[in-house]
Structure 1
Amino acid sequence: MLSTTVTPSEKRQALRAGLASGTLQRFPGAFTPLTAPLIQQLGFEGVYISGAVMAAELGLPDIGLTTLTEVAQRGREISRMTDLPTLIDADTGFGEAMNVARAVHELEDAGVSGLHLEDQVNPKRCGHLDGKEVVSLDRAVQRIAAAVSARRDADLVIMARTDIRGVRGLDAAKDRAKALEAAGADAIFPEAMASLEEFAAIREAVQVPILANMTEFGKSALFTHQQLQDVGVNIAIHPVSLLRIAMGAIERELQGLRDTGTLDGAVERMQTRARLYELNDYAAYSAFDEGVFDFEVPGAEPR
């Protein structure tokens, strides 16, 4: 009730253990806090919190317009709803080294298990769009070094994302991944890999875990979890998938409502009231409330 009883420290340790396990860690993206317990109940290893989704929910494009306050608040809302580790998108760190340091503190306090910082120039673009620019190697390394230096919990996972593959090619991505690892990154997020062979090349280039972004309509094919594990990927995220599924369904049913004047035909496709109450633990709240109202102060005279 109210929030998970698993501490942030325990969840961070679980994330590190999962990344070291040799089994691919599957992190669907939660687009609302209510989707986090559903991800947990269906047996996934963790929950991803996408910057693109946070922007979309605010009606904004994914170009770095969300603020640290907004991101930390969403991280807190989602992380409290699940026993699973959460990985959050921290974009470019909301500024330079000191801003990155503050972002790490705010996201630690929000209870996330890990965060990733990218090497794009501001204003950033979606990682699977053309026209991106990346910062210099020195600037990219400084961001990661600042994050590593600032964290207070040594188990918080600091992941380095590089978008350089789409700008300068695979060899540049391997070189940058090595430099980011040397700067202290706990894991590498190579964005917009074109093939399984490219993931394998990054795997060979670094010793730390690597992430695969399985976003729809992107540069990467939607490889299966088994294919990714076979080439040494440690964690796969599906960042915007649940939002896309939900928004597609919402649009279809709204069209039906407009055309027929009723949603009666859509009820069978809806989540039931009972299932909603299961996910938000309605019974526990009711039991707590009843216990408070039934509580009697020992020795007090009845009124």
Structure 2
Amino acid sequence: MLPHRSASVASVAPNTRETLSNLIQSNELTYLMEAHDGLSAAIAARAGFRGLWASGLSISSSLGYRDANEASWTQVVDVVERMADASSLPILVDGDSGFGNFNNARLLAAKLQQRGASGVCLEDKGFPKMNSFVGNRHPLADSDEFSGRLKAVKDTVPDMVLVARIEALIAGYGLDEALVRADAYAEAGADAILIHSRKSDAGEILDFARQWADKLPIVIVPTKYYQTPVSAYREAKISTVIWANHNMRAAISAMRATCGRILAEESIAGVEPEVATLEEVFGLLNYDELSAAEDRYLPKRA
């Protein structure tokens, strides 16, 4: 693993020395781009993003599972390792609800740190969880029990960024419950609060930000309220915006179109100008380094 990681680090942008904590604590609005494997991580790094979101939905989808804890935590950890190998950007991992109680959550966090993650985000639901945009069954965890999960993670990996994701608005409990939970999670050791909404406008998110009054950095995921201009987030002093699943969704659209055309046309001639060249693939994964290493380490040919 280590030679590949070293080679990949040399191939990405120089901003990779930033830490996730610096990004989230920054006074500037920060963007984290979704990635779900090594290739998408490398692409996001080349595009200029400064940090990555290892999306539970996207990782599950890429593995052929539903975002309902059907993929195991060990499978998620393996994918995160590939992302870290392919990019030296800091990675915030979608840890769902921690895959169980406090013990599962701290084990997950420790393994993620070993594999190259910079932070983990835990949501205040039970296990198994369902994707927040599917159906209406989203029972919340008891806030005291969930605070114990957060404390266990912080005690186990104190230098890892811990984001507490509040699902009270998703579950229909309203702003007051979200604020009460945010206070409890801040006291439990969270470094930032992710407030989530499934509405098509950002009203309740901005209301939360006003009442929260910048006690801890706020992270948001505007998948549903995507038409809100980012200027509104800057005015509300939002810390971090996660573009949470768009690499995966773009890949689905592109692959579906390509498969359809090749099948219909019985040829790749029509799609060839529209897909990435092999040279681009080789460049993303730093084949030049491997070629140079072969010249250095393998016997010279007669």
TM-score, normalised relative to structure 1? 0.88
Pairwise mapping of residues 226-241 of structure 1 onto structure 2 (< 5 A)? 226-241=231-246
The aligned amino acid for 1:161 is R
Instruction: Report deviation, 1:13.
Output: 6.3
Instruction: Report deviation, 1:208.
Output: 1.2
- Structure 1: state its 5+ residue gaps: 296-303
Q: Are 2:108 and 1:103 aligned? A: yes
Q: Residue 158 of structure 1: which of 162, 165, 171 is its match? A: 162
Are the structure 2 counterparts of residues 11 and 100 from structure 1 closer, same or farther at C-alpha, using a change threshold of 3 Å? farther
Instruction: Report deviation, 1:84.
Output: 1.2
Instruction: Name the residue aligned to 1:211.
Output: 219
Q: Distance in 2 between matches of 1:193 and 1:283?
A: 45
Q: Are 2:29 and 1:21 aligned? A: no
Q: Residue 174 of structure 2: which of 157, 169, 173 is its match? A: 169
Instruction: Report deviation, 1:198.
Output: 2.6
Instruction: Find the residue that maps to 1:29 and give its secondary structure.
Output: strand
Could you tell me whether the CA contact under 8 Å between 1:128 and 1:192 is conserved in 2?
no
Instruction: Name the residue aligned to 1:268.
Output: 273
Q: Distance in 2 between matches of 1:18 and 1:76?
A: 21
The aligned amino acid for 2:287 is Y
Instruction: Name the residue aligned to 2:140.
Output: 134
Instruction: Report deviation, 1:61.
Output: 1.1
Instruction: Name the residue aligned to 1:87.
Output: 92
Q: Distance in 1 between matches of 2:229 and 2:80?
A: 27
The aligned amino acid for 2:162 is I
Determine which structure has more spread, i.e. the larger CA radius of gyration. 1
Instruction: Name the residue aligned to 1:117.
Output: 122
Q: Distance in 1 between matches of 2:228 and 2:219?
A: 13
Instruction: Name the residue aligned to 1:3.
Output: 5
Q: Distance in 2 between matches of 1:88 and 1:185?
A: 15
The aligned amino acid for 1:207 is K
Q: Distance in 1 between matches of 2:18 and 2:267?
A: 49
Moved more, 73-82 or 199-208: 199-208
Q: Residue 208 of structure 2: which of 197, 202, 209 is its match? A: 202
Pairwise mapping of residues 242-261 of structure 1 onto structure 2 (< 5 A)? 242-261=247-266
Instruction: Name the residue aligned to 1:68.
Output: 73
Alignment: residue pair count: 288
The aligned amino acid for 2:127 is N
Q: Are 2:51 and 1:46 aligned? A: yes
Instruction: Report deviation, 1:243.
Output: 0.8
Could you tell me whether the CA contact under 8 Å between 1:170 and 1:198 is conserved in 2?
yes
1:254-280 deviation line (CA, Å, top 9, x unaligned): 111221111211111101111111111
Q: Distance in 1 between matches of 2:232 and 2:47?
A: 21
Q: Distance in 1 between matches of 2:178 and 2:285?
A: 42
Instruction: Report deviation, 1:79.
Output: 1.3
Could you tell me whether the CA contact under 8 Å between 1:12 and 1:155 is conserved in 2?
no
Q: Residue 143 of structure 1: which of 149, 152, 174 is its match? A: 149
Q: Distance in 1 between matches of 2:16 and 2:156?
A: 19
Instruction: Name the residue aligned to 2:289.
Output: 284
Q: Distance in 2 between matches of 1:182 and 1:290?
A: 56
Q: Distance in 1 between matches of 2:275 and 2:64?
A: 24
- Structure 2: state its 5+ residue gaps: none
TM-score, normalised relative to structure 2? 0.89
Instruction: Find the residue that maps to 1:3 and give its secondary structure.
Output: helix
Identity %: 24
Moved more, 266-275 or 198-207: 198-207
Q: Distance in 1 between matches of 2:296 and 2:24?
A: 42
